[in-house]
Chains A and B, each alone.
Chain A
């Protein structure tokens, strides 16, 4: 059994969490509140030291890009969210700027992966798999027709096929995920057994 205090704390945290499976309890609640607090403070530290500080030093001061000061001041307006209601609209300025910057990138860039996928649907229909893929894809697409072909028997039937295909897809995804979720537990288990209890596996 390990005598390292860090490992002991890790083991206690792990067991406190699992106790929830039996019943919500004191140890679990302490762990939950601690985690929420630590995570928030970790984020603050991380942002400050690896971002705000170096960017301020390198760009605002080092390169004399003085608009960083303006942007920083605009960023401070975010805190008006917590101000009395008549000032809260000020927080919209930084939100508007950063949302806009993100959207422009998304508008320009996000269609590209979709086009790649569409091009792949257009494979020559010369193998069984290509044909099946094409049919399955079209069936699922037609399930999502909301305004087109409401009366068409063909679209309705194809939509129903699409729903079955989706169920097969979901079954596959579910079955495939089981190994991932078990791996998560095995990771904790090997920590408890090897690192804490010292049993070699």
Chain B
């Protein structure tokens, strides 16, 4: 019951979905007019998984509840976090939800700007990373630096002003396009195929029941 049944369920579901994806009459089978079997099974699986919608809330409650109980460093922030967490969830679930003006106001006022701003800090970090990384220590870092320089110049008007796209070899932007289209694409593709093979072998061993770690726990 603890592991054989889940492993068997995984195998059956994998096989079922595989057959749906492969066999045309099955994919287009309709239970009744306009009601497709494939879609109903998909929806029910997603429906099942979405029942876990409160998992994140429970996680945070446990972690920050513990912090508050043990008076760890910064516990006062955890109190604030729990107030916001439950307040916003109650607002969303019971007071109009996604159409509620207050709910969307907070989303636009806080979530959107914080999200974008944190992400935008990369503009600064990429500068400091370039500064540290592109010191010529060996052939590899030399190659990376030279290429990165050309591409940076090819991307902006400044590079165009120095060596224009109408001149020999298409200028910086012409070389940039070539670098992106040939060496970069070749290496991306080869790395990508390697990653695909790794992933494909992994999903096959799950399907074959050789891999059990995804079920969690350490009692194997």
Physical contact A–B (CB less than 8 Å):
yes
CA distance A134 to B20 in the complex (A): 36
Q: A39-B111, A72-B48 are in contact. Are A34 and B130 (CB under 8 A)?
A: no
Q: Which chain B positions have C-beta within 8 A of A121?
A: 189
User: Does A2 sit at the interface, judged by CB under 8 A?
Assistant: no
Shortest Cβ gap from A123 to chain B (Å):
12
Shortest Cβ gap from B100 to chain A (Å):
9
CA distance A196 to B123 in the complex (A): 21
Cβ contact within 8 Å between B18 and A75: no
User: Does B29 sit at the interface, judged by CB under 8 A?
Assistant: no
Q: Which chain A positions have C-beta within 8 A of B214?
A: 95, 99
Cβ contact within 8 Å between B13 and A178: no
Other-chain contact of B155, A165, A176, A184 (Cβ < 8 Å): A176
Chain B residue, CB-CB nearest to A35 = B114
Q: Within B188-209, which residues are at the interface with A (CB < 8 Å)?
A: 188-194, 196, 199-200, 203-204, 206-207
Other-chain contact of B60, A36, A76, A108, A133 (Cβ < 8 Å): A36
Other-chain contact of B123, A10, A29, A176, A182 (Cβ < 8 Å): A182
Cβ contact within 8 Å between B182 and A44: no
User: Does B24 sit at the interface, judged by CB under 8 A?
Assistant: no
Shortest Cβ gap from B31 to chain A (Å):
9
Chain A residue, CB-CB nearest to B179 = A172
Q: Which chain B positions have C-beta within 8 A of A187?
A: 116, 120
Cβ contact within 8 Å between B43 and A103: no
User: Does B28 sit at the interface, judged by CB under 8 A?
Assistant: no
Q: Which chain B positions have C-beta within 8 A of A14?
A: 113-114, 117
Other-chain contact of B143, A108, A137, A171 (Cβ < 8 Å): A171
Other-chain contact of A48, B53, B108, B123 (Cβ < 8 Å): B53
CA distance A146 to B68 in the complex (A): 50
Cβ contact within 8 Å between B204 and A93: no
CA distance A11 to B114 in the complex (A): 10
CA distance A14 to B112 in the complex (A): 10
Cβ contact within 8 Å between B85 and A37: yes
Q: Which chain B positions have C-beta within 8 A of A75?
A: 47-52
Q: Which chain A positions have C-beta within 8 A of B189?
A: 117, 121, 137
Shortest Cβ gap from B209 to chain A (Å):
11
Q: Which chain B positions have C-beta within 8 A of A39?
A: 111
Known: A20-B121, A101-B17, A184-B123; 13 extra A-B contacts, CB below 8 A, are A17-B118, A29-B74, A37-B84, A75-B49, A98-B13, A100-B17, A104-B16, A111-B200, A140-B187, A172-B148, A174-B151, A175-B151, A179-B156
Residues of B within 8 A of A (CB): 1-3, 5-7, 9-22, 35, 40-58, 60, 62, 74, 77-78, 80-82, 84-89, 91-93, 97-98, 103, 105-126, 130, 139-140, 143-152, 155-156, 176, 178-194, 196, 199-200, 203-204, 206-207, 214-217
Residues of A within 8 A of B (CB): 6, 9-11, 13-14, 17-18, 20-21, 29-31, 33-52, 55-56, 59, 63, 65, 67-68, 71-72, 74-76, 78-79, 81-82, 88-89, 91-111, 114, 117-118, 121, 129, 132-133, 136-137, 140-141, 143-144, 162-179, 181-182, 184-185, 187-188, 191
| Contact sample, A vs B, 18 pairs, CB 8 Å cutoff | A40-B57, A40-B89, A42-B92, A47-B50, A59-B44, A99-B13, A100-B16, A104-B14, A106-B203, A117-B192, A121-B189, A133-B182, A137-B186, A140-B191, A168-B183, A172-B148, A174-B151, A187-B120
